[in-house]
Structure 1
Amino acid sequence: MTALSLRWAARCVAVGLALLCSACAGLSQAQRDQAAGIAAAARSQVIDCQQANACALDSPLHELGARALAESAPQSPRHYALILDQGQDALLARLNLLRSARHSIDLQTYIFDKDDSARLVLEELLAAARRGVRVRVLIDQLSAIADLQILAALAGSHQNFSIRIYNPTFGKAKLNYFDYAGSVLCCFRRFNQRMHTKLLLVDERIGITGGRNYQDDYYDWDAEYNFRDRDVLIAGPEAGAMAGNFQAFWDARRSTPVERLNDVGRKLLSEGVPAMPPLDYLRPARVAEMSREASDPEVVQARLVEPALPVGAVKYVADLPQKHRRESNGDDAPAAPELEMLIGSASQELLLQTPYLVLSRQAQELFRQMRKRQPPPAVIVSTNSLAATDNPVVYSMSFKYKRRHLREFGFQIYEYKPFPEDAPVDYAALMPEGPPIPVPDSTRSRRFGPSGSLGPSGSTGPSGSLGAAGETTRRLQRTESRPSFLSSGAASEPLPLKRAGVRMGLHAKSMVIDNRIAVIGTHNFDPRSETYNTEAAVIVDDAAFAQALAASIRRDIAPENSWVIAPRAKPPVFSGLDYSLGKVSESLPLFDLWPWRYATSYQFQPGPDCPLPLGPRDPDFHRCYVAVGDFPEVSVGPKWLYTRVLTAFGAGLVPIL
């Protein structure tokens, strides 16, 4: 037996032992009851405020909810809607709403870290509970707070604070290497069924949903990689639908009080309720400034209230936890059918933004039918480049089917750059020492960390990288990606680039139909969102709001922010043969090894004869655009090798990517 075979055999034995150990390591029902009792007994019952409004902050943002309800009638609802494009505005809105809550806060998320932004939100949640607000937090287990001390402390923190974990594998909050491997082998489908729904609901009158989780890279606070993301704030009667959906998840069988989990319960049994770890903000001055602004009514009015638009028809469409049952029916998972219906209703233009351009068979057929219309609606897609994406494995599938996307579906595809020049961010805060700079090949391999990028100071070490002020950054796990077969980490990470700097990756999930209907939510428009994850979206039928969202997406696809994907210029000979062989190779589930692809990335070159950007079907396109390669900005061995291997052999992974 070869050494490789021995290693695989040992790994399989280890996985089998892990399954046995995980099955046997759980607490008994009596022990879980005892742990829950310890947590309950420790919870403070002290209320810091005796006022009817729980000493809530007077907030013009919170008042939008009251105003919308006062202006609404049963047959003519009134809402206010706000697009949250800037990460710091999204955090500002959350903090302000938490401080202004009078009765209840419900928070539902896929990722909750323990870095600066997450800990700041957590402190506000606890402060709200202490002043008399009912606080409920529901986190998907796969990306829940990975600190048993924090979870055990929260379990016994206050009578008004409750935290539950959704779909905990092996009844645990924190999984190790063997837990991941065992869960894939024993219960693959259940392990992949995740609660991807994200919602913050305050007083059942104002809610926020969209792509953002609770981690620094969703709020432009990370020193290496930040998401270009988007949320929508809705104030008005549709918050009632948000409340009903949250309640369904809170009551679901898979939502487990954190004190009843095996690892948290064991800590409570052995140590009692621990103290919360001391606050250790990486950049305390930045945290203090954000905290100050969150209580400043003039800042909130200018940045959050004045940009909000009055709208009428708003619909919150969200999957129910019953989607994860084997006997689930279509009524349990309305998000995908509703979005597909809206896509199919487009008559003139569909503007689609998704970080992962991987389509289900049903979606493919939908776009084929749209393409057959006379005239077909324009379909404009904003998505990630390989240089920008946090998940190269998923990108490989998008790359594989570019010919189909362009030729069969008629897509106009724009891929986001890792260093966009005009993104909705505070560049001074994001890159305080200037724009990205080239890194020589001789130093790139030595200086780049696993994520492939540097902090603004341009130096990394084993524990992280240096931030703007020279302080050490914490290593973040990019938990939005899926775990690999035998790893507790992300399946893939951003690839190394040619330049150092704080890179960005697209994470927004949005859609505009005919410049009239707008959609912002958590759905990635991919097979995983349709089949495995629970998702949510806000649909706004309002022309002014739709046009504002369209303007935001069009800014992302502008030449300074995105490359355009277009067919290569036809070679003088054998162009038909090259196309046919590429098409045949693409159709193979394995061994898609044809090296010459139908399309590549282009950059606009303005000049006297090219004053404005052109569409890829314009006859002057190749005169005004220059090809920049299949994987611009990426530095990884032969540029194409990694993604080309995945393209050739990874088609079977599409349903779970």
Structure 2
Amino acid sequence: MNAWSSLLRIALAGALIAVLSACGSLPPARERPAEFSGAADPSTTLAKIVEASTPPGEHSGFRLMPLGVYSLDARIQLAERAQHSLEVQYYQLENDAVGRLLLRTLREAAARGVKVRVLVDDLYTVKSQQLLLALSRTPNVQVRLFNPFCCGRNGFLSRFAASPWEIERLNHRMHNKLFVADGVMAVVGGRNIAEEYFVLNEAQNFIDMDALVVGKVVPQFEQIFDAYWNSVQVWPIADIVAGTASTGGEGGRKPGTAEFDDWIGMAAPPPKIVLPPSDILGYGPVAEELDAGRMGLLWGQASAIADPPTKPATVTADEAISTSVTMKVWGLMMDAKTEVDLTSPYLVPGERGMAAFDDLARRKVKLTLLTNSLAANDEPLVHTGYARYRERLLASGADLYELSPQRTSKGERFGMFGKSLGRLHAKTAAIDKTRVFIGSMNLDPRSASQNTEMGVVIDSPQLAREMLRIINISKLQNSYRLRLAKGTGTLQWLTNDGEQEVILTSEPESGFFQRFYNMLIAPIVPEMLL
């Protein structure tokens, strides 16, 4: 009874805020000149390392980074060595120990004269907006927000409530993840900037995937960044966020470095990053190779792909889907001749996707899918959309695996999860053991029609082998295998207790009320909202 009363009070409060704030709107946009990355300077340290590491005639080089602390360290190492420019683009950049560590490193780079541009989607900036504003007021740094909220900025729900007539606009988010140093090295993949993406959170952590990238594809990433940076969907943070006393608001404006130090000083110390000698692929920390002046990479032909920043504001919903990164990845899968191995934390194929999967089955293309179990999913409603298709996927011959939080916490291949809840967040595909996709795109309607997404497609049998090795570790050591019971056709989850196979007949590691809620809500949740 108390829970329902609390929900009612929240709903009434939200309605009141909406009424009181119905006139909220963004300020008039100011004209600003377009800015572009320009050609990379071959005299920088990073450029010389790339040149020394690139065999004659090769296109682009890659290092997969399944281990969270290695991926975080790579960003820090690139920022510390940058001499010319840093371009940083993220869906979420949290004001936690990891976010502050990265922002501090960016500020230090700017102090050396590096031009720093930071672009963040505005959805999750409630806690980070003042820190980002302070950073923007330091020399050589610019910070912009994608598709910002006008008002009610100090609360997640109040932001939407303050602009009730703009819900359609605000539903479109920039889901991209990109980090480029000196125009010659980049980090791309699925990770946002927050503790849980690097296995440094006490409550929950993600299995995820990034790649360190060099070569001819890097300028394509910079072109993507520039298109977003100069788009009408993007605003300088100072035009949107009002400063507090600590960021030069009512208390008077401090010099940029001083106000940034105030915000950093009020927070906990940076995280202690412990780097193991090697990751699950046998690679050591990237700093060792950067210091040596030469990197060992896997090479292949690569293309960066991204949705336009205007998606879907300037096109119809059907056009947004048909030209999306999602459809490009579907196209890659439909070109498969022998096998497709896909990881997606949110897997809602829809009828169109099921028709594509059925076509793969008819052509005898082996399909393996890895996604979150109900217990591992941080978006339980999305699980309802996925659950509608499980039996059909299995009946068509697909191999289906769901991540187990318990089994993830017992392993150390992706980092020390300890007592934290393990979840899948990697968005990858390996096709015919020759082609790889790494990026930000989930296989769900939101990625196809609402969010902007990006990624990279690489033709490289060597890289595909490493990707498959990582996927196989996840599915065999950290997941349940699903099947349909003989005779009844009901779902079964298979695992082992170390000695023998265990068969479960209901959503594993989930409570009764969690399962009941999802069963109750599944029929009424529109799939296009997932």
TM-score category (smaller protein): 0.7 to 0.9
Mapped to 1, the partners of 2:126 and 2:84 lie a distance apart of 25
Q: Is the Cα contact below 8 Å between 2:173 and 2:451 reproduced in 1?
A: yes
Classify 1:298/1:120 alpha carbon distance in 2 versus 1 (closer, same or farther; 3 Å).
closer
Q: TM-score, normalised by structure 2?
A: 0.85
Query: 1:553 offset after TM fit, Å?
Result: 0.3
Out of 430, 450, 456, the position equivalent to 1:512 is 430
Q: Is the Cα contact below 8 Å between 1:89 and 1:304 reproduced in 2?
A: no
Deviations 1:410-457 (A, max 9, x none): 321111110323353333xx43xxxxxxxxxxxxxxxxxxxxxxxxxx
Out of 451, 456, 464, the position equivalent to 1:538 is 456
Query: 1:262 offset after TM fit, Å?
Result: 4.9
Amino acid at match of 2:305: V
| Equivalence for 1:192 | 171
| Equivalence for 1:549 | 467
Aligned length: 500
Mapped to 1, the partners of 2:235 and 2:105 lie a distance apart of 23
The answer to whether structure 1 residue 239 and structure 2 residue 218 are counterparts is yes
The answer to whether structure 1 residue 222 and structure 2 residue 97 are counterparts is no
| Equivalence for 1:178 | 158
Query: 1:526 offset after TM fit, Å?
Result: 1.2
Query: 1:342 offset after TM fit, Å?
Result: 0.6
Q: Is the Cα contact below 8 Å between 1:211 and 1:507 reproduced in 2?
A: yes
Amino acid at match of 1:507: H
Amino acid at match of 1:366: A
SS at match of 1:214: coil
Amino acid at match of 1:389: N
Out of 351, 355, 362, the position equivalent to 1:365 is 355
Query: 1:203 offset after TM fit, Å?
Result: 1.1
Query: 1:123 offset after TM fit, Å?
Result: 0.4
Q: How does 1:85-164 map to 2 (within 5 A)?
A: 85-144=66-125, 146-158=127-139, 160-164=140-144
SS at match of 1:286: coil
Mapped to 2, the partners of 1:303 and 1:425 lie a distance apart of 25
Out of 397, 415, 421, the position equivalent to 1:426 is 415
The answer to whether structure 1 residue 413 and structure 2 residue 288 are counterparts is no
| Equivalence for 1:453 | none
| Equivalence for 2:340 | 350
The answer to whether structure 1 residue 566 and structure 2 residue 473 are counterparts is no
Mapped to 1, the partners of 2:194 and 2:209 lie a distance apart of 14
Q: Is the Cα contact below 8 Å between 2:153 and 2:159 reproduced in 1?
A: no
Mapped to 1, the partners of 2:322 and 2:107 lie a distance apart of 33
Mapped to 1, the partners of 2:501 and 2:52 lie a distance apart of 50
Mapped to 2, the partners of 1:335 and 1:298 lie a distance apart of 29
Out of 628, 632, 635, the position equivalent to 2:504 is 628
Q: Percent identity?
A: 25
Query: 1:502 offset after TM fit, Å?
Result: 1.5
SS at match of 2:405: coil
Amino acid at match of 2:107: L
Q: How does 1:597-616 map to 2 (within 5 A)?
A: 598-604=490-496
Classify 1:628/1:552 alpha carbon distance in 2 versus 1 (closer, same or farther; 3 Å).
same
Mapped to 2, the partners of 1:605 and 1:13 lie a distance apart of 50
| Equivalence for 2:145 | 165
The answer to whether structure 1 residue 642 and structure 2 residue 487 are counterparts is no
Q: Is the Cα contact below 8 Å between 1:173 and 1:264 reproduced in 2?
A: no
Classify 1:265/1:7 alpha carbon distance in 2 versus 1 (closer, same or farther; 3 Å).
closer
Structure 1: tracts of 5 or more residues without a match: 37-51, 432-500, 580-597, 608-623
Classify 1:196/1:351 alpha carbon distance in 2 versus 1 (closer, same or farther; 3 Å).
same
Classify 1:224/1:308 alpha carbon distance in 2 versus 1 (closer, same or farther; 3 Å).
farther
Q: Is the Cα contact below 8 Å between 2:186 and 2:212 reproduced in 1?
A: yes
Query: 1:178 offset after TM fit, Å?
Result: 2.9
Classify 1:626/1:324 alpha carbon distance in 2 versus 1 (closer, same or farther; 3 Å).
same
Q: Is the Cα contact below 8 Å between 2:320 and 2:448 reproduced in 1?
A: no
SS at match of 1:20: coil
Mapped to 1, the partners of 2:429 and 2:186 lie a distance apart of 19
Mapped to 2, the partners of 1:305 and 1:645 lie a distance apart of 58
SS at match of 1:315: strand
Query: 1:144 offset after TM fit, Å?
Result: 2.7
Mapped to 2, the partners of 1:336 and 1:346 lie a distance apart of 16
Mapped to 2, the partners of 1:303 and 1:349 lie a distance apart of 39
Out of 242, 265, 275, the position equivalent to 1:279 is 265
SS at match of 1:263: coil
Q: Is the Cα contact below 8 Å between 1:319 and 1:334 reproduced in 2?
A: yes
Query: 1:250 offset after TM fit, Å?
Result: 0.2
User: After the TM superposition, which of the residue ranges 531-540 and 624-633 deviates more from structure 2?
Assistant: 624-633
Query: 1:365 offset after TM fit, Å?
Result: 2.0
Q: TM-score, normalised by structure 1?
A: 0.69
Out of 83, 98, 111, the position equivalent to 2:64 is 83
Amino acid at match of 1:395: H
Structure 2: tracts of 5 or more residues without a match: 33-40, 279-283
